[in-house]
Structure 1
């Protein structure tokens, strides 16, 4: 866990914690974050921070009943609220179009518009723009404003909301196009054919992107999302051209009709946004430092990164990509990344790490695995780190551990092999209270994160 005396960089703050009480002093609090990784055999007493009796601390009563808490912070999380806003707005227009009627061309424009938003919300430059604006908020601004901006990582709700809405619109489009074809109106067989194939692909993407399926079969999700997505975009081009051709005015050339149609330009832009990261695909040299039989640290010098950045790496660029938080150190060019066996490297690849790795796109902001180290090194705000796990020095080596302790001398590294598994809720609460923290950032697996966030 890391706690800060002044507001943390916005993109590092989990501002969604529902029941974080104020400190006894009543003064403004800052940010706290937690690693649940591997830790060293290090007694917290050596740094003058005592946790004696923390298990006997009494947690404050929750300020809202369980039903309200569940509705507010779980069922209606910001991600779902953004999804809901996009989806409900689309469905309101959807119902209006169903009532008053609309031709296939009008419905096709809405389908393309939703797909356009869904694709753009996953574009590196667009994501960085959102984070740049959110992080530009001065630390003097009220906490409630920074709390909202700190949830910028929830913009994925716009992506998924637009994607699902576009699929629903495509169902209506396909039905309307079929109706027009039967009535021998403007729609042609190729238009209907492409519409149904694209619909099948989008439904497949949604099924594989369902959270449980995505978590349990991540590699399958990656491959299907990419290959089915590319195929869908290619067929959307065919669909748009055929639709424009079906509706073009008598005597108007297809080329003239295409350049005057908004869907053409939307598809052109979204296609360029998909291609752009791949234009930056390259195989870069990497220097590997084997930390243990569990993990390796890769050093890159092809680009400089900032705290909060992640990069995409692969050993098989067509089928498998994984995002890793970058570790940037002030005054040092390039960046490093710690990759463990749990993060797609097997024992052989750690023992004999690659000399080159494929990278794609640009460094991008986001909440990724272990993003705390570069924030600690940056020293922009006072930080209190709590790292609970077994034997960090054996796992990650003295160099990384010592550099973190040097940057944040008051770090608390709780060795579970020496002290046993702690009560993370009470341990985190003790640190928040003593450090007078303003927010808590948790970097851990989902069950433990939810346990600490919700005080369960």
Structure 2
């Protein structure tokens, strides 16, 4: 009888909640390594659209060689990478040849030995630690430095105006942070930037610097919040040194305002905001409103107080002469403006899958804008990218990843609260450039689709990576993508073609299409990898900065 070689192999199968299942290849030293294809001139990889096998997009060569397998549907459409909390099997296996005599024939036995997987980085650590020194942090430090210098000069007696108007400097910082978060003001600024700096004669360096600044104004917002606390503390210290010139009521109101601003700032700390977003949103909103009401009371008490008689005497002439009054009036107007645009509108909600909902509204919307919707306007608001051809209607694509988005599928509403003033974000700045590569994973496609449906100043190219596209996103989204030139689109379905190296794919596509800039919308780790790869290739790139 012919002697036959037997091999004992133990295969581990993995599946993440991202929905990509794969098996370990025991023929590689690293079971998760993606092998490079044989180098052949002029040969590329063909990525097939998942909804048809009759047409394809030709793609640049990609260094992945993965056998596609299907698993359960993912509900995290923007995430194609595995997070530590999502891994169902918390080990990886390493192939080792072990000399083990087999009783039957004495041949070598190959086994897969378990190996501890290094701990995965959390999303929060990626957001806080992996971005390095950003433009956002630079603005934060510059704004903070200016305030610290002014405060130090005032305390040393070299800036007497600030010493006598410390409360005004605190209110001035609050006005600045409100301006940096006013969606109406930013909409105008973004529009002006596109009109003026988006001209062909303006250099790419100026355009990218403008994009970095507008994307990072949150750094000014955060810095002014901290600075306003510092100035208010300084004002209170000076007031307590001269208690005979003020009243206990004024001091008490000032302490309450300080407490509310401090509470609002603590709630905005990344750890709290990331883990308890609804708590942050409500504290930020209601403590801010209460502080504003008390600020008006503080100003009226301060203006009307007579130190000599210890009485209050309020006149209009006294109020209008106070700078604090005009600053506070501006803050009040800026806070009221978005609430004047709140409307309850009729909506149509459909669910192409149990993990996605499409919300439709009346009226066309300009490409690049985002919108906010809410089931209860005083408690929570949710921002989504807007998909529109600019004509009769627009819609939002929502992945079921939270209580609200899940409720859109389980109990579709007939009406929702909206803010009719849509706000501009990073996608709007696509209009600054001539040639732009847009990279999206999962439901991140929603912020870019309008550029495929409407005429744009920029020549737009798209990479979209997602799982089970037709199953999760439905025919309607597919048909919208199909309307665009197939020469400018790469669609990669991970359920069919496996998990790609999105960073490398983005760099190669940017070079192939000769784009000026890359804009990515993905999860924190995915966005970070694309931005780093583009930076190494010296290609300007922008993505979510996950700021405050």
- Normalising by structure 1, what TM-score? 0.81
Matches of 1:135 and 1:229 in 2, distance apart? 32
Write out per-residue CA displacement over residues 184-206 of structure 1, whole angstroms, 9 at most, x where no aligned residue: 2x111111111111111111111
1:345 maps onto 2:404 in alignment? yes
Count of residues paired in the alignment: 397
* Structure number, greater radius of gyration: 2
Matches of 2:508 and 2:137 in 1, distance apart? 31
Aligned to 1:299: 360
Aligned to 2:453: 377
Counterpart pick for 2:507 among 429, 435, 444: 429
> How much has 1:52 moved relative to structure 2?
4.0
Aligned to 1:91: 148
Kept in 2, the 8 Å contact 1:123–1:274? The answer is yes
> How much has 1:397 moved relative to structure 2?
0.8
Matches of 2:484 and 2:54 in 1, distance apart? 19
Aligned to 1:442: 520
Counterpart pick for 1:278 among 333, 339, 357: 339
Paired residue secondary structure (2:482)? helix
1:415 maps onto 2:475 in alignment? no
Counterpart pick for 2:284 among 204, 225, 228: 225
Kept in 2, the 8 Å contact 1:44–1:413? The answer is no
Matches of 2:271 and 2:514 in 1, distance apart? 37
> How much has 1:306 moved relative to structure 2?
1.1
Distance 1:95 1:45, change over 3 A: farther
Matches of 2:51 and 2:60 in 1, distance apart? 13
> How much has 1:271 moved relative to structure 2?
0.8
Paired residue secondary structure (2:207)? helix
1:175 maps onto 2:240 in alignment? no
Matches of 1:326 and 1:285 in 2, distance apart? 16
Distance 1:133 1:347, change over 3 A: closer
Name the structure with the higher strand share: 2
Paired residue secondary structure (2:50)? coil
Paired residue secondary structure (1:127)? helix
> How much has 1:140 moved relative to structure 2?
3.7
Kept in 2, the 8 Å contact 1:43–1:414? The answer is no
Q: Cα RMSD over matched residues?
A: 2.6
Kept in 1, the 8 Å contact 2:57–2:490? The answer is no
Write out per-residue CA displacement over residues 1-28 of structure 1, whole angstroms, 9 at most, x where no aligned residue: xxxxxxxxxxxxxxxxxxxxxxxxxxxx
Q: Which moved more, 1:98-107 or 1:155-164?
A: 98-107
> How much has 1:261 moved relative to structure 2?
0.6
Counterpart pick for 2:211 among 129, 134, 150: 150
Kept in 2, the 8 Å contact 1:278–1:361? The answer is no
Q: Which moved more, 1:137-146 or 1:307-316?
A: 137-146
1:310 maps onto 2:363 in alignment? no
Kept in 1, the 8 Å contact 2:374–2:416? The answer is yes
> How much has 1:262 moved relative to structure 2?
1.1
Paired residue secondary structure (2:383)? strand
Write out per-residue CA displacement over residues 380-425 of structure 1, whole angstroms, 9 at most, x where no aligned residue: 2332211112111111111211211212423211111122211222
Distance 1:103 1:384, change over 3 A: closer
Name the structure with the higher helix share: 1
Distance 1:53 1:335, change over 3 A: closer
Aligned to 2:186: 127
Write out per-residue CA displacement over residues 262-292 of structure 1, whole angstroms, 9 at most, x where no aligned residue: 1111111211221122122221011223221
Distance 1:52 1:272, change over 3 A: closer
Aligned to 2:88: none
- Normalising by structure 2, what TM-score? 0.68
Matches of 2:283 and 2:451 in 1, distance apart? 34
Distance 1:354 1:47, change over 3 A: same
Q: Which moved more, 1:40-49 or 1:106-115?
A: 40-49
**Unmatched runs of 5 consecutive residues or more in structure 1:** 1-38, 57-72
Write out per-residue CA displacement over residues 100-159 of structure 1, whole angstroms, 9 at most, x where no aligned residue: 166875111111111111112211221112211221221342110111122212112222
**Unmatched runs of 5 consecutive residues or more in structure 2:** 1-47, 66-129, 428-443, 537-548
Counterpart pick for 1:49 among 51, 55, 58: 58
Matches of 2:300 and 2:267 in 1, distance apart? 28
Distance 1:93 1:413, change over 3 A: same
Aligned to 1:269: 330
> How much has 1:309 moved relative to structure 2?
1.1
Matches of 2:353 and 2:64 in 1, distance apart? 33
Distance 1:322 1:288, change over 3 A: same
Paired residue secondary structure (2:59)? coil
1:79 maps onto 2:136 in alignment? yes
Kept in 1, the 8 Å contact 2:303–2:314? The answer is no
Matches of 1:85 and 1:103 in 2, distance apart? 19
Write out per-residue CA displacement over residues 143-184 of structure 1, whole angstroms, 9 at most, x where no aligned residue: 101111222121122222222111110110111111111xx2
> How much has 1:433 moved relative to structure 2?
1.7
- Give the structure, 1 or 2, with the largest relative contact order (CA under 8 Å, sep 6 or more): 1
Q: Which moved more, 1:344-353 or 1:191-200?
A: 344-353
> How much has 1:45 moved relative to structure 2?
10
Kept in 1, the 8 Å contact 2:62–2:505? The answer is no
Aligned to 1:14: none
Matches of 1:155 and 1:447 in 2, distance apart? 22
Q: Which moved more, 1:369-378 or 1:316-325?
A: 369-378
Matches of 1:122 and 1:357 in 2, distance apart? 23
Aligned to 1:206: 265
Kept in 2, the 8 Å contact 1:103–1:176? The answer is no
Aligned to 1:160: 222
Counterpart pick for 1:194 among 249, 253, 261: 253
